[in-house]
């Protein structure tokens, strides 16, 4: 958000002035969990209201015609950096801009954008970065709708793709990027942990490979979907990513009552994506932005509790005789996959609360387990206060071709579980009873 003087502001907006932000106390840099309570908002500009009002307006009044022209120069891209004021709710708004300021704080990103859903964020990113004939190189698996967007929709417009498995080594990544380099690679797109297998991508290896193979102006940016672990347990910008994508529906929203998306990164990349968002109107609405501001205040508390619960639940499940395997990041150091364990140690500060449960059997056993749950809800999504369980092969990834599902480990006996903030022992009792039906 652009800093403005009070004279530039119109009609009691919630846009911040520099003095509204307290980012240090006694030389101590404040943590994001503290800054979520007020960063980017000055109560003086909104009748002293402790919390930002919801600005339900489609348009904003310009102080004068010259200001209106300058704002539109930014909105249309004639001048880089976006609008310097509030223009129209397809472009920006007070609630959205406060939200974007606060989102950027968690990963110390230069800038951020809010979107109407995670997929609208991803689609806007792809549309802003690619043109016919370009190639997207991506890790696999991806969320099914993302794979559909790349393979079926962008493919119709001449955008090609190559992929490598989520756990690929530097040599495997080099081979794919070298093959792709014969054309124009517009974007390297990652998802880590992969949905739904929980496989980690070595972001550092991808960045090193990109930097070795591409030089100068043809160096493609690296974007990553950080929904499963971010922003508490993973910060991919530190490993060399340029752009971070979120389904804010998940942990950031965290109450299963909104749908939204976010993109964070350098001002250069965010400005490019903003121009596309301004054109196609994929910004989130002010009410959703306001709800996200509320949710960000408890983000650390909710994620911490869910993570602690998941560790206890996974210990129980891993020891159960009807369980084939638990794909939980916290178990990587105990397994025989040294590659994944190494990535986890370098990239992650926590194992998260979403994991893959492989039951002994197939779809019949998975469905019996799911249908017997009492506390956990049978629903797609993750990162909410409640525990959710679903069947990826028959639900979220149903549209993925069968051969690709098998290659990516999305099997009929796989159940994806997202642990919430309930009592951990109550959840264990629920899973224990449900396993009796298997």
Mark whether 174 and 207 lie in a shared domain: yes
Peptide bond before residue 196 is cis, with ω within 30 degrees of 0: yes
Structure tokens of 435? 């396993």
At a CB cut-off of 8 Å and minimum separation 6, what does 23 contact? 29, 30, 35, 39
CB 259 within 8 A of CB 245: no
Domain finish residue from 255, 285, 315 = 285
Distances (CA, A) of 354 to 253, 384, 388, 411: 16, 10, 9, 17
Residues 345, 278: one domain?
Answer: no
The strand pairing partners of 185, in sequence order, are 135
**Residues 269 and 388 grouped into a single domain:** no
Two tokens, residue 199: 């496989």
Q: List the structure tokens of 221.
A: 């940016």
Owner of token pair 């150091």: 333
CA atoms of 392 and 363, how far apart (whole Å) = 11
For residue 411, give the CATH number of its domain.
3.90.1150.10
SS3 of residue 203 by DSSP? helix
Q: State whether 309 and 198 are in the same domain.
A: no
Residue 14 lies in a domain: no
**Whole-angstrom distance, CA of residue 84 vs CA of residue 113:** 15
Residue 228 to residue 209: CA distance in whole angstroms: 24
Element spanning 389, H or E: strand 388-390
Per the structure, the count of domains in the chain is 2
Shared-domain flag, residues 281 and 309? no
Residues 329 and 392 occupy one common structural domain: yes
Asked if residues 126 and 221 have their Cβ atoms less than 8 Å apart, the reply is: no
Does 89 reside within a domain? Answer: no
Cα–Cα distance for residue pair 152/362, rounded to 1 Å: 29
Half-sphere exposure of residue 384, counting CA atoms within 13 Å on the CB side? 18
For the CA atoms of 73, 95, 106, 148, what is the dihedral angle to 10 degrees?
-80
Percentages helix, strand, coil for the chain (3-state, rounded to 5) are 45, 15, 40
Residues 219 and 139 placed together within one structural domain of the fold: yes
DSSP state of 283: P
Q: How many CB atoms lie under 10 A from the CB of residue 25?
A: 9
What's the average model confidence in pLDDT over 351-378?
Answer: 97
Query: Is the pLDDT confidence value at 84 over 90?
Result: no
- 280 shares its domain with 328: no
Q: Is the pLDDT of residue 81 over 90?
A: no
Q: pTM to 2 decimals?
A: 0.92
**54 within domain boundaries:** no
Write out pLDDT tens, residues 206-245: 999 999 999 878 899 999 999 999 999 999 999 999 999 9
SS3 state of residue 270? helix
pLDDT interval class at 409 (50, 70, 90): confident
CB neighbours of residue 256 within 10 Å: 18
Q: Is residue 401 included in any domain, yes or no?
A: yes
Looking at the structure, do residues 280 and 350 belong to the same domain, yes or no?
no
Please indicate, yes or no, whether residues 430 and 386 belong to a single structural domain of this protein. Answer: yes
pLDDT tier for residue 20 given thresholds of 50, 70 and 90:
low
Residue 95 confidence (pLDDT): 97
Do 337 and 191 share a structural domain? no
Instruction: Report d(CA 346, CA 329) in Å as an integer.
Output: 13
- C-alpha–C-alpha distance, residues 355 and 337, integer Å: 16
| Domain housing 146 | 111-285
**352 and 231, same structural domain?**
no
Confirm if 250 and 382 have CB atoms less than 8 A apart: yes
Count of helix runs (H) and strand runs (E) in the chain: 14, 14
Instruction: Look at residues 93, 80, 110, 4 and name the one whose alpha carbon lies nearest to residue 271.
Output: 80
- How far apart are alpha carbons 235 and 244 in whole angstroms? 9
The CATH number given to whatever domain includes residue 155 is 3.40.640.10
76-90, 135-149, 365-379: least confidently modelled range? 76-90
For residue 4, pLDDT beyond 70: no
Which residues neighbour 209 within 8 Å (Cβ) at sequence distance 6 or greater?
Answer: 170, 173, 174, 177
Which residues are CB-neighbours of 339 under 8 A, at least 6 positions away? 167, 169, 202
b/e string for 380-396 if b means 16 or more Cβ within 10 A? ebbbbbbbbbbbbbeeb
Structure confidence at residue 297 (pLDDT) = 98
Give residue 10's pLDDT band: very low, low, confident or very high (50, 70, 90): very low
Which pLDDT band holds residue 406 (cuts at 50, 70, 90)? confident
Contacts of 434 (CB under 8 A, 6+ apart): 369, 370, 372, 373, 374, 376
pLDDT digits (tens, 9 = 90+) for 162-216: 999 999 999 999 999 999 999 999 999 999 999 888 899 999 999 999 999 998 7
In a domain? residue 335: yes
């Amino acid at each position: 958000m652009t800093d403005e003087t009070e004279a530039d502001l119109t009609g009691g907006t919630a846009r911040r002035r520099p003095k509204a932000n307290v980012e240090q106390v006694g030389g101590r840099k404040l943590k994001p969990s503290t800054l979520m309570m007020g960063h980017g908002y000055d109560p003086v500009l909104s009748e002293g209201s402790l919390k930002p009002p919801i600005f339900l307006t489609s348009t904003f009044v310009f102080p004068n015609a010259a200001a209106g022209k300058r704002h539109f120069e930014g909105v249309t891209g004639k001048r880089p950096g976006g609008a310097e004021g509030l223009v129209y709710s397809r472009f920006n708004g007070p609630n959205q801009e406060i939200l974007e300021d606060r989102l950027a704080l968690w990963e110390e990103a230069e800038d951020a954008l809010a979107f109407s859903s995670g997929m609208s964020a991803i689609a806007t990113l792809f549309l802003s970065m690619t043109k016919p004939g370009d190639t997207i190189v991506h890790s696999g698996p991806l969320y099914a709708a993302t794979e559909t967007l790349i393979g079926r929709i962008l493919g119709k417009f001449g955008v090609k793709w190559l992929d490598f498995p989520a756990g690929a080594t530097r040599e495997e990544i080099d081979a794919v990027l070298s093959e792709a380099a014969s054309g124009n690679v517009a974007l390297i797109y990652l998802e880590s942990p992969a949905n739904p297998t929980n496989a980690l991508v070595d972001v550092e290896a991808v960045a090193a490979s990109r930097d070795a193979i591409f030089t100068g102006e043809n160096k493609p940016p690296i974007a990553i979907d950080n929904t499963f672990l971010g922003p508490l347990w993973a910060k991919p910008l530190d490993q060399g990513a340029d752009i971070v994508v979120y389904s804010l529906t998940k942990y950031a929203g965290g109450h299963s009552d909104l749908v939204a998306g976010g993109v964070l990164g350098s001002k250069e990349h965010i400005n490019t994506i903003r121009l596309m968002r301004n054109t196609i109107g994929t910004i989130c609405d002010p009410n959703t932005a306001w709800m996200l501001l509320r949710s960000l205040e408890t983000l650390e508390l909710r994620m911490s509790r869910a993570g602690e619960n998941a560790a206890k639940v996974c210990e129980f499940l891993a020891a159960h005789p009807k369980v084939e395997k638990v794909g939980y990041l916290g178990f990587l150091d105990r397994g025989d996959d040294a590659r994944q364990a190494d990535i986890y140690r370098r990239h992650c500060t926590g194992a998260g609360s979403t994991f893959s449960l492989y039951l002994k059997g197939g779809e019949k056993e998975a469905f019996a387990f799911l249908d017997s749950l009492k506390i956990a809800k049978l629903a797609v999504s993750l990162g909410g206060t409640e525990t959710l369980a679903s069947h990826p092969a028959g639900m979220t990834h149903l549209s993925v071709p069968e051969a690709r599902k098998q290659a990516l480990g999305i099997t009929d006996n796989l159940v994806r579980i997202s642990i919430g903030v309930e009592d951990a022992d109550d959840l264990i009792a629920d899973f224990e009873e449900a396993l009796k039906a298997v």
